[in-house]
Chains A and B, each alone.
Chain A
């Protein structure tokens, strides 16, 4: 039977564990604020000052300037879409190979998952920087950047989704004499489809946000226009660009929302 002594050991163990965690967090926070010279006061002043600044210098937006950015806006939209398709195409084989239940060999599963994890560690912009060196300035670099970086998320969620299916349904088709592709198509795909659609559309949502900023390094989209307007102190025009980005993001989210409900 458990005794009072046991109870006290238990309480102490938990208290000690919590102490360690909080100490680490507080030390990290202290180190961070000391190193960057940023304290609570800085935070409050920063937020207050920034929103005041936004209210006076950035608003109201110069909406008349909008038409000149339409081309860039359309580019941003198209980039997001093509980038998603590219991620999907590249991630499907990686997902199938990554999933323990559909892979050809266990080592391939580890290799695939490892590659995907590796890609996931890098922010999109880093890919963009190198790809601009390769493809030159313009939306091509941005699209490929999103295409490759998308593998980080889609490769993982596809593999997870495939691993989560009911293998008995697949066994049925295999037993009936289907080839590997038939098994994938008839057994795996129907169960995998919801995961596939949901996460692919989610990637589209992410892309439209990324595409807006990739222009900062010259990889196409509204980002470049934004940074130019800011560098030339055209703040209210910059606000227009930000609003356009904002509207596009909402639009894409709306469309993906509808697609998700209707195609699933």
Chain B
């Protein structure tokens, strides 16, 4: 059955006041349930692209439509409603370190509970049970009441993913989720992202600079070069020549060789 694409980006551009053109004329359509890897050099615009999708960064021009709703022209209130369906996973995890793991997971529900209740940390029992269940499935059952500050990098990222799952997100944006992790944790996280995507049917867009991870875990790879889409093809079609051109000879070393 043909459903609308989950994410539609049309003519997206972002220019900063100092003249830097981060993105120019990006056109992208992501069907539901697809896992897209966005690759490219640092500064190619990967992070800006993701942040324009949920309007953490204001686009200069263009349109972003998520699940049929226009993000770019949404009001404050509408934006909040749209955002609660978009989960985001960050390179530096972005957890509230002093709070316990389960509370950070429950933060995913803040968009759904009342403003005051959420502020006071009062979540419905059903949400709490779900959070504990999700954490357990991600292997964090024993850590539920630990402070996030006491966790390892891989564990922290799993909490970040739990938070996104608690949002019942239909779209997950992952901005370099494994850049701060060791190779083994990185592998685990990518597996988790893919398993979650497949099992729950969540559309996922992942920024990566490790090309081999992109090939291994993604359905589709989009290459950005200097703010413009350079290539857009199924993961298995990604060949070395394209990679070379994308990175202009400065291909990042495959991680496995360093260790």
A, B co-complexed? yes
Are B141 and A1 interface neighbours, CB within 8 A? yes
Q: Which residue, B100, B132, B133, has most C-beta atoms of chain A within 10 A? A: B132
As a 0/1 sequence over residues 112 to 144 of chain B, the CB contacts with chain A under 8 angstroms (1 = contact) are 000000000000010011001101100001001
B230 at the A interface (CB under 8 A): no
Kindly state the separation between the CA atoms of A19 and B141 in the bound complex, as whole angstroms.
28
Q: Which residue of A lies closest to B122 (CB)?
A: A11
As a 0/1 sequence over residues 242 to 253 of chain B, the CB contacts with chain A under 8 angstroms (1 = contact) are 000000000000
A17-36 residues at the B interface, CB under 8 angstroms: none
Are B136 and A2 interface neighbours, CB within 8 A? yes
Are A2 and B125 interface neighbours, CB within 8 A? no
Report B-chain residues with C-beta under 8 Å of the C-beta of A2: 102, 132, 135-136, 141, 144-145
- Majority-rule SS of A interface residues: helix
Are B145 and A3 interface neighbours, CB within 8 A? no
As a 0/1 sequence over residues 187 to 201 of chain B, the CB contacts with chain A under 8 angstroms (1 = contact) are 000000000000000
Sorting the interface of chain A by its residue count into under 10, 10 to 19, 20 to 34 or 35 or more gives under 10
A4 at the B interface (CB under 8 A): yes
Are A4 and B100 interface neighbours, CB within 8 A? no
Kindly state the separation between the CA atoms of A1 and B135 in the bound complex, as whole angstroms.
9
Kindly state the separation between the CA atoms of A4 and B102 in the bound complex, as whole angstroms.
11
As a 0/1 sequence over residues 1 to 15 of chain A, the CB contacts with chain B under 8 angstroms (1 = contact) are 111101100100000
Kindly state the separation between the CA atoms of A10 and B141 in the bound complex, as whole angstroms.
15
Q: Which residue of B lies closest to A14 (CB)?
A: B100
Are B132 and A4 interface neighbours, CB within 8 A? yes
Report B-chain residues with C-beta under 8 Å of the C-beta of A10: 100, 102, 145
Q: Which residue, A1, A2, A10, has most C-beta atoms of chain B within 10 A? A: A2
Q: Which residue of A lies closest to B145 (CB)?
A: A10
Q: Which residue of B lies closest to A2 (CB)?
A: B144
Kindly state the separation between the CA atoms of A1 and B131 in the bound complex, as whole angstroms.
11
The smallest C-beta distance from A68 to any residue of chain B, in angstroms, reads 56
- Show 13 residue pairs from A and B whose CB-CB distance is below 8 angstroms, ordered by the A residue: A1-B132, A2-B132, A2-B135, A2-B136, A2-B141, A2-B144, A3-B129, A3-B132, A4-B129, A4-B132, A6-B145, A7-B132, A10-B102
The 5 A-B pairs at the shortest CB distance, nearest first, are namely A2-B144, A1-B136, A1-B141, A2-B132, A7-B128
For the complex with contacts A2-B145, A4-B129, 16 further pairs of A-B residues with Cβ separation under 8 Å are: A1-B132, A1-B133, A1-B141, A2-B132, A2-B136, A2-B141, A2-B144, A3-B129, A3-B132, A4-B125, A4-B128, A4-B132, A6-B132, A6-B145, A7-B144, A10-B102
